């Protein structure tokens, strides 16, 4: 008995049985046109405190299922060293950074806020100006992310004690009712406490978060992540 010819043509896919379609959907996801071929090992992404890479990680997991993404926390002080040493493939860094030998893509700016005790008179306003800070004790932590200096805010006082090393400790200090700290909003949220409030501050330096990697280590996986943060869609080809 002659064997029946297999269906062909543009409607072939719709001719598959439900069982066949289910089996196909459980197979590894097909590589997107704009994504590189999978390579051994994970993609290691560094991230400074306050960075919010969640939506990009979700896109990576969807498009690059054979290449797990490892997220590593970085202090701002070590962000460049982590890139140069090869500890991470790329990193979400806080500008400014020494751009020598690096590719840097600015991503977004963060507004500065004043963190103060929850019962401070400063919480009466929704937005503060430098004039509102006159006579306040300005605490600048050792890991200050904004490049804050006392002279930027005439009328503020320096603390009578050594400033805390970290932003987290500085915010814990202002919770006691001693002083204020000026930080990017993401750090105020990261170190949120019930006894601390924050208000947006006009006229203060903003903080820019950027994606950076070593220029001569632009691997296919680095290029794929850079495409994601740039908004390249799964179906778009590289330009």
Q: pLDDT exceeding 70 applies to what percent of the chain?
A: 80
Q: What is the pLDDT of residue 234?
A: 60
Domain 112-205, CATH number (from 1.10.3720.10, 3.40.50.1820, 3.40.50.620, 3.40.190.10): 3.40.190.10
pLDDT tens digits for range 173-227 = 999 999 999 999 999 999 999 999 999 999 999 999 999 999 999 999 999 999 9
Task: Provide CATH 3.40.190.10 ranges for the chain.
Answer: 42-109+207-239, 112-205
* pLDDT, tens digit, 9 for 90 and up, residues 217-231: 999 999 999 999 998
The token pair that represents 88 in the structure block? 């991470």
Looking up tokens 């080809």, which residue turns up? 237
> Taking residues 140-161, what's their average pLDDT?
94
pTM to 2 decimal places: 0.75
What's the pLDDT band for 38 if we cut at 50, 70, 90?
A: low
Tokens found for residue 120: 């401070």
Q: Does domain 42-109+207-239 sit in CATH 3.40.190.10? A: yes
Q: Is the peptide bond before 96 cis (omega within 30 degrees of 0)?
A: yes
Task: Tell me the average pLDDT of the chain.
Answer: 85
What average pLDDT does this structure show over 69-73? 96
Longest dimension (CA), the chain: 98
45 band by pLDDT with thresholds 50, 70 and 90: very high
pLDDT higher than threshold 60 for residue 130: yes
């Amino acid at each position: 008995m002659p064997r029946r010819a297999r269906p062909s043509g543009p409607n072939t896919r719709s001719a598959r049985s439900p069982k066949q379609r289910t089996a196909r959907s459980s197979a590894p996801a097909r590589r997107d046109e704009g994504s590189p071929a999978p390579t051994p090992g994970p993609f290691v992404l560094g991230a400074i405190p306050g960075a919010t890479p969640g939506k990009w990680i979700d896109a990576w997991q969807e498009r690059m299922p054979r290449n797990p993404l490892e997220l590593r926390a970085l202090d701002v002080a070590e962000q460049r060293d982590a890139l140069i040493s090869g500890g991470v493939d790329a990193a979400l860094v806080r500008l400014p950074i020494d751009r020598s030998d690096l590719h840097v893509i600015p991503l977004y700016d963060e507004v500065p806020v004043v963190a103060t005790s929850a019962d401070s008179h400063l919480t009466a306003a929704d937005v503060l100006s430098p004039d509102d800070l006159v006579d306040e004790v300005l605490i600048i932590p050792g890991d200050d992310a904004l490049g804050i200096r006392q002279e930027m805010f005439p009328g503020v006082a320096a603390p009578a004690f050594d400033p805390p090393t970290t932003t987290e400790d500085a915010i814990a200090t202002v919770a006691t009712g001693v002083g204020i700290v000026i930080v990017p909003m993401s750090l105020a949220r990261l170190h949120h406490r019930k006894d601390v409030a924050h208000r947006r501050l006009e006229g203060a330096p903003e903080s820019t978060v950027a994606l950076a990697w070593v220029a001569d280590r632009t691997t296919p996986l680095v290029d794929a992540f850079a495409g994601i943060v740039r908004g390249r869609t799964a179906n778009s080809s590289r330009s």
